[in-house]
Structure 1
Amino acid sequence: MKNIKYITGIIALLLILSCSDEYLDVNGSSSSPSNASPELLLPAAQKNSADMLWRASISNDSDISFNLIGGIHAGVISDAGDRVWYEPEQQYLILNTTYERCWENTYRLTLYPYHLIENFEEDGYDYYKAIAKIMKTFHFAMLVDTYGDIPYSDAFGRGNNTQPTYDEDKAVYDAIYDELNVAIDMIDNAPTGTINPQTIDAMFVGNMLRWKQFANTLKLRMLLRQVNTGENLSTKFSEISGNGIGFLVGTASIDPGYADQTDQQNPFYTVHGFNAGSTTPAQNHLATRGNEVYVNFLKDNDDPRTTRLFTPAVSDGEIRGIPQNVYTNDLRSEATSALGPGLLKSSSQRLFVMAGSESLFLQAEAVQRGFMPGDAGALYKAAIAASCAELDVPTPATAAATYESTSLNNLINWNTAVANGKEIEAIITQKWIAIGMISGFEVWMDRVRTNFPSFIPIPTGALSTTFPSNLLYPESEYATNSANVPTQGNNGAFDRHTFWMQ
């Protein structure tokens, strides 16, 4: 779907939002974007949701995002040997300024407009409000996963509330899980005459069943985050598997009108692809490379996705990754593999929010752990096939079946994984392969939660031998809200604070 006619309105609204210093204050003034209609707010908010995943700023310094730092820490992305784009991340140098716009702009540019939609006072917008609740949950969960305690119940209070209190992370998770149920109920019980956002919705073009399935899959993701907490989650797992909604089929993605024009490209392509209207490499194109461990796992196992994920090195035509935090001339940009055609399809490609393969891997894990009925092996194999299709591997079902069935590796072949008690490790490892370059944040959180893949080394020269599991609260919070910012441990980002990592 193309929403080109909304681009002007989106840009105007973004400028209002981005220039506001009081992004946690809904002041209700006549010049406030709170008076904007849901028809204008929704495409702006969805565009910003995409930007937060791969371009956490609308300014030129756009080489930060949740998925970028996630992909680096999950052992998927490395820096080319003649670049120093990602040196601090690969050294585990995490400060209060590290990726702080991920925090700031999640509140300012995504949660705020969704909040305005949710609280719009005119009747007939139940579908819009349900979408806003679902997307607020998506972003709030990401903040909890990254930081722990966050402003939630106090975040959007009217008045001069620029110093919101912090809610405990577990309480936020419980609250937003309940909000997903409220959103599903709103969709199911929307009154006659409810406006369908078909021509506005940049994700599912008003298909409210798909919105419910996305919400149900977010619930599944959140429950699996918590499997190590000791909490009895069986009732919730039974509810999501038996409510008749089902889970996400195919990919959840956004296209607010991406085009091969400056400031209208897909944000992933903007950062890692090529400049608009040219073959000039974008700012990170020559730096972003695959971690040698990730690339070698693909190559060593004849993975059909290898040439879709990476291109041959210019110097000798080999597919070659690079160890993290190693800067040598023999591993320069020309001697290592750039991102491939399965990732960089075009400047107007849709941007992944949740891959269909992830949905299947989540289901496979839940079934294998005994939380839901089903065939874990069949779901696992279907997830690999979905990943091949997402990367445009020729004859993806056949390629995936051959890859899985002929391998002797117990992290690829399901029967071998079962024989060796490696089912969960195989699911998480194959998910790492499938979405590592698409949803790096998710595979980072999987590594924090499960320690899989288990064979990713700490980078050479890293400042700590402990794997980083979170970010520090941003410097801006200490400057404006220091009385409420929770204390983080002596080891900063190497001392996990989020409740689900016990």
Structure 2
Amino acid sequence: MTYMTIIKKIYSSLVFVGMLAGAVSCKKELDKNLQNPNGVPSKDIKGKDVFPSALNNTAAMILGQAVYSTGTATAAFASEWMGYTARTTSYSASGAQLQIELFTLNSTYSNGLWEGQYHNIFDYNFVIANSDATSVLSGAAKVMRALVFEDLVDIYGNIPYKQAVDPSGNIRPAYDTDSTIYRSLITDLDSAIISLKASQSGADDAADVLFKGDKTKWVQFANTIKMRILIRQSVNGDQTYIKQQFTAIQTEGSGFLSQEAGVNPGYTDAVNQQSPLWNNYGFEVGGKNGKANHVFYIANKTMTDYLAARADPRLGRLYAESPSGVYDGNFLGDGVSARPVATLSTFGPGVLQSAAMDAVLMSASQSYLLQAEAAYKGYITGDYISLFRKGVEESFRYLGVPGGATAADAYIDGSADDRINIAASANPVKTIIYQKWIALCEMDGLEAWAEWRRTGFPDRTKPSLNPSVATNVIPERLLYPQTEFDNNTANVAMQKQTSADKYKAIFWSK
């Protein structure tokens, strides 16, 4: 990929941000771009001009939307595999959807997802290299770059890292091993924290459409990502190293995320200005007509049945009542005549809150449930039962369950199910992950997929009902994209990947 191609991508992002109400002004650059998109001097672009769109695009990718590229591949496959969504019974499976149901996603499928994530990394590289030394943006961009690299490792295993971080932009970067990258990301986040603590409030704060220049919240977010990276390795990783890193986090002292990490550059109910989740799965401007994905994707019966069987109050917030007055869905791969469309639920009001809603990178619930596991395993101080309870309460709060924390406490205390009441559980990690599975529903399928691979929870035995499925097991990873075989041939060939490698575990997996 040429440098000018990437500059064009940056300008397309600037156009997006410029259209958002209340977004950071990029008028000077936008005017030049519109007049002569191939001749804009790159020196006129600053980190503050790129950072809002980079944040939006990271969130959009986590929430299952295609960005940067013309490819249609998105992270939505993980939501289907994890029992959150499924194809509506009014459509038959074909193309990529059929591959999702048969667990046969090929290298072509990965093209758009891989391209989008690496473009996103380049944007953060650009922000780091083109922001003032005292600006919060440099450290914040390092945090975000680490988050995107973490997702890439979790999806593919070994990936280009060192040469992809290099701002000189090696177009044929070598691959690094997944476990080595994970350790490097901890170092990168430590560097980000140093930058953030040294930063000063200034004009660039307006470009921070996540924490609005609050460097303490950025440090807490960095610590939470570090915690997630370390917890991911806790099953089979170097325990001495993990404990040392957790000690360093606690010594640093800023703590962890206690609110949603929600991006919002000024989303509103207007064309090209809606929040990513709403724009992808919600309604056209005005809220009357559902978008294509609102019609195609409906509730997965795995989750609706699970919640209904346990009288979980989140059912009516995660999913909308069907036209026939019930909460129901379709299993992954089920036939077109399995259930009448009138009985099927779509995305609920706790998920699709409004066209102006924040685009959530990480929820407070996820942070507290990570802390609960870390405390249970002795990595941090604190009562794991209380942290678990807080994680469930935050899930109820975010989804808008009536009664909030009180309803969450009643739900926990009134159950003897070891997937709900951690105090009664012989396997607290199982309890934590089941509740995280619910908390991540329709918000972060990639994270739920990673946690399933790490722990084996929730139970996803024979997840597809498609009669053509040959191996009814969810893959451990995606295959490298065809674009890598076309453009980075020598380096990707060194990975010696075969189609069977989709069942090769990532280094941290159980």
TM-score of the superposed pair, with normalisation by structure 2: 0.88
Q: Does 1:447 align with 2:452?
A: yes
Tell me if structure 2 keeps the 8 A contact 1:411–1:422: no
- Alpha-carbon separation, structure 2, partners of 1:495 and 1:359: 28
Please show how residues 112-261 of structure 1 align to structure 2 within 5 Å.
Answer: 112-120=122-130, 122-125=132-135, 127-155=136-164, 157=166, 161-190=170-199, 195=202, 197-232=204-239, 233-261=242-270
Tell me if structure 1 keeps the 8 A contact 2:302–2:331: yes
Specify which of 321, 325, 335 is matched with residue 327 of structure 1.
335
**Structure 1 residues 299 and 11: CA distance shift in structure 2, 3 A:** farther
- Deviation readout 1:372-394 (Å, 9 max, x if unpaired): 22111111111111000000111
- Alpha-carbon separation, structure 1, partners of 2:398 and 2:483: 38
Q: CA deviation at 1:350?
A: 0.6
Instruction: Report the residue type matching 1:377 in the other structure.
Output: I
State which drifts further: 242-251 or 75-84: 75-84
Specify which of 374, 378, 397 is matched with residue 386 of structure 2.
378
- Deviation readout 1:56-97 (Å, 9 max, x if unpaired): 43489786432x222112222211112246332122121001
- Deviation readout 1:98-157 (Å, 9 max, x if unpaired): 24211101111x1111101111275433x1100010000010111011111111111255
Please show how residues 66-145 of structure 1 align to structure 2 within 5 Å.
Answer: 66=75, 68-84=76-92, 86-108=97-119, 110-120=120-130, 122-125=132-135, 127-145=136-154
- Alignment match, 1:24: none
- Alignment match, 1:458: 463
TM-score of the superposed pair, with normalisation by structure 1: 0.89
Matched position secondary structure for 1:289: strand
Q: CA deviation at 1:286?
A: 1.7
**Structure 1 residues 122 and 351: CA distance shift in structure 2, 3 A:** closer
Q: Does 1:39 align with 2:48?
A: yes
- Alpha-carbon separation, structure 1, partners of 2:29 and 2:403: 40
- Alpha-carbon separation, structure 1, partners of 2:53 and 2:68: 16
Matched position secondary structure for 1:365: helix
- Alignment match, 2:3: none
- Alpha-carbon separation, structure 2, partners of 1:460 and 1:299: 21
Q: CA deviation at 1:256?
A: 1.4
Q: Does 1:265 align with 2:265?
A: no
Instruction: Report the residue type matching 1:441 in the other structure.
Output: L
- Alpha-carbon separation, structure 2, partners of 1:343 and 1:274: 13
- Alignment match, 2:509: 501
Matched position secondary structure for 1:96: coil
Tell me if structure 2 keeps the 8 A contact 1:63–1:271: no
Aligned positions, number: 480
Specify which of 481, 489, 497 is matched with residue 474 of structure 1.
481
Specify which of 22, 35, 38 is matched with residue 4 of structure 1.
22
Tell me if structure 1 keeps the 8 A contact 2:92–2:336: no
Q: CA deviation at 1:229?
A: 2.6
Unaligned 5+ residue runs, structure 1? 21-29
- Alpha-carbon separation, structure 2, partners of 1:170 and 1:270: 36
Q: CA deviation at 1:363?
A: 0.4
- Deviation readout 1:10-46 (Å, 9 max, x if unpaired): 9959x99xx99xxxxxxxxx84646511221111211
Q: Does 1:290 align with 2:290?
A: no
Q: Does 1:488 align with 2:503?
A: no
State which drifts further: 156-165 or 54-63: 54-63
- Alpha-carbon separation, structure 2, partners of 1:130 and 1:60: 27
**Structure 1 residues 481 and 398: CA distance shift in structure 2, 3 A:** same
Matched position secondary structure for 1:383: helix
Q: What is the percent sequence identity of the aligned residues?
A: 28
- Deviation readout 1:276-297 (Å, 9 max, x if unpaired): 2341110111222222121111
- Alpha-carbon separation, structure 1, partners of 2:168 and 2:443: 39
Unaligned 5+ residue runs, structure 2? 1-16
Matched position secondary structure for 1:329: coil
- Alpha-carbon separation, structure 1, partners of 2:131 and 2:402: 50
Please show how residues 273-288 of structure 1 align to structure 2 within 5 Å.
Answer: 273-288=282-297
Q: CA deviation at 1:5?
A: 4.4
- Deviation readout 1:202-234 (Å, 9 max, x if unpaired): 101111100000000000000011112331211
- Computed over aligned residues only, the root mean square deviation of the Cα atoms, in angstroms, reads 2.6
Flag the structure with higher helix content. Answer: 2
Q: CA deviation at 1:361?
A: 0.5
- Deviation readout 1:306-354 (Å, 9 max, x if unpaired): 111111221x211112211002324243221111111111111111100
- Alpha-carbon separation, structure 2, partners of 1:186 and 1:258: 29
Q: CA deviation at 1:241?
A: 3.0
Matched position secondary structure for 1:199: helix
Q: CA deviation at 1:477?
A: 0.7
